[in-house]
Amino acid sequence: ALAHRSYSFASAEPGRRALFVWGDAAVRPPLLTRVRTRFSQWAENRSYFNCFFFDQHRKRQCCQAINQRRPEALIGYAGNLAELAAFCRSQPGLLTWRTPHIITAAEGLQTGQRELIEEFLGDRVFMSYGSREFMSIGMESARDGGYHLADDNLLVEVVDDHGRPVPDGRTGQIAVTDLHNTANPFVRYLVGDLGSMAADDARGSHGLPFRRLLTVRGRNHEFVYTPNGEKLTLLYFVHQLKEFPWVEGFQIVQRTLQHIVVRVRCEKLLSTRRKRALETQLRPKLSSARIDIEQVDELTRRPNGKIALLISELEVLPSLNVVSARECA
């Protein structure tokens, strides 16, 4: 019910014709479960396209499904929708239907991906925020910036490293309390994301009685380790690579403390000049590490279908100093 309400903020409530670019069950469910699921999807006017295997052929099939279904709302993994938008750009005329409302889920959008999706897939992108532990936590709305929180189900706080609430607008760790989980209540559970909260008097123009998260800035437990005794949050790479509008997606691979590989997705051939510009931008915090810039067509995904922003091949993680998001900026 909370997810349905959250989707209604982006005009994608049950009943609107919707297509989910989503994963499928790893194990085939029992017949009765499949029948119930099919009936629920029919009643809610929703259909699903399995994107766990999303090669060029499957992307073409997904475009055909969108043209045939003509959905009012398109909901999918953020990385898959960005890939689909890039594919549509390379295949002019293949996608003939523009979806009015697009909702991204399961992962954040990298720099430029929202614009890419809105140019080649639909009219407007809305980001949802949730987790496997709590499901729906917040949702962007059609009018307001940030995420309307499910305050009637969860208590969401932004705290510092000592668990103390930080002032509105300041970045901290997102902590969630859930007392409605009958299997295992959660109290001030750190989900591993960074964010900032809007002031209580800025709840939004919808008149909803829900607070808003202004920002969600990604995982804080994924670090790149440098040779000179620091560990960088992935925000460092987000802040640096956003300066290059032709970067459509990236992935960091840490081979060793002395060797970092930056995989880049972009439309045109990655020239030597652009590689050198990327290396120069990243060099100040990576000290003496070797930086290799590689252009790829696809970014590696985890078994659950999400793009892994960081692939670490370090067998033993050193105990080093943390570089904060503010320092990275």
CA torsion sign for 304, 33, 73, 155 is: negative
The answer to whether the CB of 108 falls within 8 A of the CB of 114 is: no
Give the chain's end-to-end CA distance (angstroms, integer).
Answer: 38
pLDDT tens track, the chain, 329 positions: 888 888 888 888 999 999 999 877 656 788 998 899 899 999 999 999 988 777 788 899 999 999 999 999 999 988 889 889 999 999 999 999 999 999 998 777 877 888 999 999 999 999 998 887 888 899 887 666 788 898 889 999 999 888 999 999 888 989 999 998 888 899 999 887 888 998 865 555 556 778 888 888 765 446 788 887 676 767 678 778 878 888 888 999 999 989 999 999 988 889 999 999 999 988 888 888 999 999 998 888 776 566 788 888 886 555 443 333 333 33
* 147 contact partners, CB below 8 Å, separation of at least 6: 127, 128, 129, 137, 138, 139, 140, 212, 213, 216
At residue 318, the 3 state secondary structure works out as: coil
Estimate the crossing angle of helix 78-90 against helix 113-120, to 10 degrees: 50
pTM: 0.69
How many angstroms separate the CA atoms of 242 and 231, rounded?
A: 20
% helix, strand, coil for the chain, step of 5: 25, 35, 40
The answer to whether the CB of 198 falls within 8 A of the CB of 167 is: no
At residue 29, the 3 state secondary structure works out as: coil
The answer to whether the CB of 48 falls within 8 A of the CB of 19 is: yes
